[in-house]
Amino acid sequence: MEQVLALLLPFFMGLLQQGRSEQGGALEVEPRQPVVALALGESMQFTCRLTCAARASSVQWRGLDTSLGAVQSGPNSSVLSVHNASFSAAGTRVCVGSCGNSTFQKTVQLLVFAFPNQLTVFPVALVTGRHQELACTAHNITNPEALSLSLLLGDQELKGVQALGREVEEEPEEGEDSLFRVTVRWRLPPLWTPAPPALHCQATMRLPGLEQSHHQPIPVLHILTSQEPPITTSREATLEQDSTRSSWSPGPKPGNSSTRPCRPEIHQSPTSGGLELLCEAACGPSTAVHWTQAPGDLAAYKRWEAGAQAWLRVLWAGCHPEGWFQCRLDPGGQMASLYLFPEICSSHTSEALWVGSLVLGLLFLVFLAYRLWKRCQPATQPPAHHCL
């Protein structure tokens, strides 16, 4: 064993010469991590310093490609500045220092990543008292293998959640560098009243020396019970509509506003035997809206579209289907969502109850008339006043 250590000792001493010379030279790099993760568009400085007792000394950053960045060098230091980092700035950077007759170097690997705060959830809100499925998507990211999505209640993971799968898709963007969207779906347990106020989807990116998180709140809406007053509009039951838009795609602007972003809206109006939903966007002649989601099968609904307007007919079948209706604006991808509850057709239920009560009342009157007639028809004819 002692002979092996004696053989390895010169080897390790030789390695130490890379960072320190016999003349007291030492090379240090800040930040000290061998791999540094830098967000797309951000800036950072890399400083390489040399401590050397010899008069002849130099320090210089060198790169393996032409995207080295701005370098300012002096006898004992060299500063590499990366401004507005692009994906092409990623790579290995080498700091080379010389002290007297000794030369040594240190390397830093620069990793440029994309992780914007672009989270979307569908449905845009949850309701209490039933099992539901929820999807959370992180858009326009790199390194999908380093991204995790979780569903939190406060600062703890929501219990009783069943994971339904994870999907990684390439964003439909043109360019040399691929960006991805990651979607995770869950099946949730029933959420009971009082509704939890702090439910949110959390996306976390973990890279060497870095951990970042973004959050997307998820409203939880209370369903009216049969003992509560009936509702006639979705505003009383939930959000009348929730228009969501991609924060990375502001979309066209309406003609009557130069600052408000364009987004679709859903309106509803009663019709004979049902309800008609209208999705429209006042965004100019080059835009169109389309229905993308409805309870059950979207193909089962009667729909028609005309540019920036799209209609959908909901027919009553005892009570209409409960769930989310969603439409999308193209181009831009902004969406509007509307949740309908069964109680919205409570007026039809009341009419049915009224008709049923009327029929029962008529039957009761017929029964009383029959009983009275029987009393007036004895075996022998009594005086007429006996029937009064």
Q: What sign does the CA torsion over 38, 43, 44, 45 have?
A: positive
pLDDT more than 90, % of the chain: 30
pLDDT of residue 228: 37
**Fold for the domain defined by 227-253+261-350:** Immunoglobulin-like (2.60.40)
Distance CA 266, CA 335 (A): 10
274-278: average pLDDT: 88
Q: How confident is the model over 75-134, as pLDDT tens digits?
A: 788 999 999 999 988 989 999 998 888 888 899 999 999 999 999 998 888 888 888 899
248, 332 contact by CB (below 8 A): no
Is 0.75 topped by the overall pTM?
no
At the fourth CATH level, the homologous superfamily of domain 114-223 is Immunoglobulins (2.60.40.10)
Residue 14's pLDDT is 41
> What confidence score (pLDDT) does residue 342 get?
58
- Kindly report which listed range (33-37, 110-114, 282-286, 297-301) carries the lowest average pLDDT score: 282-286
Closest to 277 measured CA to CA, from 321, 317, 332, 236: 321
Kindly indicate the confidence band of residue 385, based on its pLDDT and cuts at 50, 70 and 90.
low
As a whole number, mean pLDDT of residues 162-188 equals: 87
pLDDT of residue 326: 87
pLDDT classification of 362: cutoffs 50, 70, 90? confident
Contact between 106 and 19 under an 8 Å Cβ cutoff? The reply is yes
User: Measuring CA to CA, which residue among 189, 199, 192 is closest to residue 225?
Assistant: 192
Cβ contact 280:267 at 8 Å: yes
| Lateral strand order in the sheet of 57-63 | 35-39, 102-113, 91-99, 57-63
Angle among Cα 175, 180, 182 to the nearest 5 degrees reads: 170
**CATH classification code of 16-113:** 2.60.40.10
What pLDDT does residue 212 have? Answer: 94
